[in-house]
Amino acid sequence: MTTADQAPPVPRTPRRAHARRNHDRLLREARSVFAEHGIDASLEDIARRAGVGIGTLYRNFPTRQALLEALLHDGFDDLHVRANELLGSSAPGEALTLWLRLLAAHAATFRGVAAALIAVIHDERSALHASCRAIHTAGAALLARAQESGDIRPDVSPSELFTLINAIAWAAEQTPEAVDQADRFLHLVMRGLQE
């Protein structure tokens, strides 16, 4: 045996490129299938549409949560950035409402996401837990500002607000009119939270 035996004998790039393409295809098809059937959609279906074996899907995303996490990650990041921007706004109440509208839209990305987010915030072992907590904290800062300025009642907690917004997103998911409903519900609920 020589050391040469241990080194890979052929260039890896093509294989890696191929693997990467599978990964991307899985994400694309997962997004499409989740959008159509909700987050409990068939994983087999996703693999088939991506043109890979079911084993490849599991290799790339060991759990359904991992796949979901990969799909929601960018949205989470975006929400985080937007929250920080809005913390500089001179109208705390409006800033909060605007951001909550974004949060509701994100929670309604696919059918089932709102329920998943609430589950995740209560489950520390979840892959989404950290990013979900970060969003929660960002929202809490916006809420605190709106409360200090007198726009929002002082007795509303960040957790209550988070749950309520997800409930709104959930309600919108259930009805045919989805998006319009979400805005309407948000409007009504925010009235209740005002000072």
Partner DNA sequence: ACCTGAACACCGTTCAAGT
Give whichever of 41 and 128 is closer to DNA, judged by the CB atom.
41
The binder of 26, among DNA, a copy of itself, none, by C-beta within 5 to 8 A per type, is: none
Binding mask 26-45 toward DNA (x if CB under 7 A, else -) reads --------------xxxxx-
Kindly tell me which residue out of 63, 84, 137, 175 binds DNA, with binding defined by CB under 7 A. 63
Handedness of CA 128, 131, 135, 136 (dihedral sign): positive
**Residue 16 makes contact with DNA by CB under 7 A:** yes
Distance CA 193, CA 155 (A): 9
The binder of 35, among a copy of itself, DNA, none, by C-beta within 5 to 8 A per type, is: none
16-24, 106-114, 133-141, 168-176 -> range binding DNA (CB under 7 A): 16-24
Give whichever of 17 and 179 is closer to DNA, judged by the CB atom.
17
Contacts of 97 (CB under 8 A, 6+ apart): 186, 190
Distance CA 116, CA 122 (A): 10
Q: Which residues bind a copy of itself (CB under 8 A)?
A: 115, 118-119, 122, 156, 160, 163-164, 166-168, 170-171, 174-176, 181, 184-185, 188-193
Number of residues that make up the chain? 195
Distance of CA 153 to the CA centre of its chain: 28
Least distance to a copy of itself from the beta carbon of 123, Å? Answer: 11
60-68, 145-153, 171-179, 186-194 -> range binding DNA (CB under 7 A): 60-68
The structure tokens 């987010």 sit at 117
First to last CA, the chain: 78
Q: With contact defined as beta carbons under 8 Å apart, do 120 and 126 qualify?
A: yes
Distance CA 95, CA 3 (A): 62
| Token reading at 88 | 């500089």
Which residues contribute to the site for DNA (CB under 7 A)? 15-16, 18-19, 22, 40-44, 51-56, 58-60, 62-64
